[in-house]
Amino acid sequence: MKLSKVGKLSRKQHRHTAGVSVQTGFPSPATHYLEPTIDLHQELITNADATFFVRVSSNEYAHLKIYNEAVLIIDRSTPALKGKLALVIIDGEFSIIKVPVSQGGSEAHKTFTLWGVINYVINKAI
């Protein structure tokens, strides 16, 4: 600010100064304690190069507690142990099953080809 000749206060025009921070105030006491914000990937994904996301668009698998709009986190490197949920192919089509005792076994399933084991099911909360 400066006084103009006629004695009026002339305000300096506001200038956009993006990129230049004018720090006032006390420096943050948290400066040395900053950590990256929680990332879901860290918790849900162990092998990113083998992990695929798949969306379920029906209530066909409600008996497996997988509901419409659920997102499946599939890790193809996870071993298909008995009882695990898995995305499989039956007659050329994707399907979700619980892995039976012996792979490709008869237990209520026709022969299937494993696509990947489901490690997490993210259902929409009602």
Partner 1 sequence: MIALVDCNSFYASCEQVFRPDLWGKPVVVLSNNDGCIIAANREAKALTDIAMFEPVFKIKKQLIAHNVTLFSSNYTLYGELSQRVMNTLYLFSPRVEVYSIDESFVDLHGFGHKNLKHYGNFIKETIFRNTGIPTGVGIAPTKVLAKLANKIAKKGPEHDHVFVIDSDAKRIEILKTTEIKSIWGIGRQQTKKLKEVGIHTAYQFTEMPLAWVRKEMTVVGERLWRELRGEPCMDMIEIPKPKKGIGTAKSFGRKLERLDLIEEACAYYISEVAEVLRAQKSCAMYLQVFLNTSSFSVNDKQYRNKQTVTLAIPTNNTFTLVTEARKILKAIYKPGYRYKKVGVNLTGIIPEAYVQGNLFESPKTEKHKELMQLFDTLNYKYGKGKVFSGLTGTRMKEWELVKADRSPRFTTQWSEILEVK
Q: Point out which span in 23-31, 37-45, 70-78, 100-108 binds partner 1 (CB under 8 A).
A: 70-78
Interface residue with partner 1, options 32, 92, 106, 108 (CB under 8 A): 92
Q: Is 64 helix (H, G, I), strand (E, B) or coil?
A: helix
List C-alpha distances in Å: 111 to 91, 93, 97.
8, 12, 12
The closest of 82, 41, 81, 66 to 122, measured between CA atoms, is 66
Answer yes or no whether residue 60 interacts with partner 1 by CB under 8 A: yes
Name the CA radius of gyration of the chain, rounded. 29
Interface residue with partner 1, options 85, 96, 97, 99 (CB under 8 A): 96
Q: Which chain residues interact with partner 1 by CB under 8 A?
A: 47, 49-50, 52-58, 60, 71-72, 76-77, 87, 89, 92-96, 113, 115
